[in-house]
Amino acid sequence: MRLSKTRRQALGTLAACLPAMLLWPPLIWSEETNLENLVRQLARQTSLPSSHIRNVLLKARYTPSIIHRIQQPYESKPYVEYRQLFLTESMRRQGQAFLLKHAEVLQQQWNIYHVEKEIITAILGMESRFGRNTGRDRILDALFTLTTGYPRRSEFFREQLGEFLLLCQEENLDPLAVRGSYAGAFGATQFIPSSFRAYAVDADRDGKRNVWDSVPDITASIAHYFRQHNWRQGRPIACWLPFMPEMSARANIGIKRFSRLVTLKNYLPSIPTTWSDDDEVAIITLQRSTGPAMVLVHRNFYVITRWNRSYNYAMAVAEMASMLGCSHCLGDTQV
């Protein structure tokens, strides 16, 4: 694993072209001792043989572009820009086609998990364009790169690397063949490895949890995830409010504080009757095309943020589900 003279010269040339923060991992992780440290950590985490882990990691490629991409997530955009990536006429048509084509399967998932079909479909649209875009990066390379070259979250990605090695053993997958996103997510669901192991479902009972090609497995896995995170069937997700300066302090706290709706009603405009006084709610602020606005969010909004922690993401799911026909998912007091 030590660098040859030729490779050192090549990296020297590369140093003139890339920021230093992107070059640190190849120089450090070329040392055998550091590879062995990672092998030992993963062996303790997974109980897999060190020889197997070492053999896999020796085939991993450090990919600097992955560090660059993870530092510029779509979710960091203002909501008014972010929503334009997903709330389109094309997505509406594709979503409605998916609902129609897979109506029987989605009904089966509702009967078991009680998660609305529009929510399942919206998640699929957001994550992979209904399975059409599942990512091109090798998951092994993505997780290895983020473990060794992204110090801020290296521990998290090391854990995911271990989970990935385990699921490849459990599902009889070649770790060099699995492809997905730069963040280590894969399949139509874009599960990270730990979520796959915890929530993926073999709904078609063929002995595999196939989140790539099996619509029963894909939809059941999403529904199972939401059910396990206490999704409230038939309850709302969000309702747009005008910007109210007097509620700014509350909005700054966001979903860290939920209260019963009845305790806030005197401070809010009239909201849709689908909301109940007993609903647990919070208030957040997002940017609309008309300027900053506040959003009344239900506990179901919080559940979506367990899938993806971004407020932008959760609100786009609510809007897409509403666009696909979920009448209780989204309200707007400003229309």
User: pLDDT confidence of 335, banded at 50, 70, 90?
Assistant: low
**DSSP character for 313?**
H
Domain for residue 35, yes or no? no
Residues 257 and 290 occupy one common structural domain: yes
Domain for residue 154, yes or no? no
Tell me the residue range of the domain where 223 lies.
102-134+187-228
Domain stops at, among 169, 195, 228: 228
Residues 107 and 224 occupy one common structural domain: yes
In one-letter notation, the amino acid at residue 54 is R
Residues 218 and 273 occupy one common structural domain: no
Residues 296 and 325 occupy one common structural domain: yes
Q: Is the dihedral of CA 293, 295, 301, 305 positive or negative?
A: positive
User: pLDDT confidence of 74, banded at 50, 70, 90?
Assistant: confident
Per-residue pLDDT tens over the stretch 34-43: 899 999 999 9
Count of structural domains, the chain: 2
Residues 274 and 254 occupy one common structural domain: yes
Residues 222 and 310 occupy one common structural domain: no
Per-residue pLDDT tens over the stretch 157-181: 999 999 999 999 999 999 999 999 9
- What are the distances in angstroms from CA 136 to CA 58, 112, 130, 180? 20, 33, 16, 5
Per-residue pLDDT tens over the stretch 136-163: 999 999 999 999 999 999 999 999 999 9
Residues 259 and 324 occupy one common structural domain: yes
Residues 193 and 120 occupy one common structural domain: yes
Domain for residue 59, yes or no? no
Residues 198 and 129 occupy one common structural domain: yes
Q: Which residue has the tokens 């999704």?
A: 231
Predicted TM-score (pTM) of this structure: 0.89
Residues 222 and 244 occupy one common structural domain: no
Residues 251 and 220 occupy one common structural domain: no
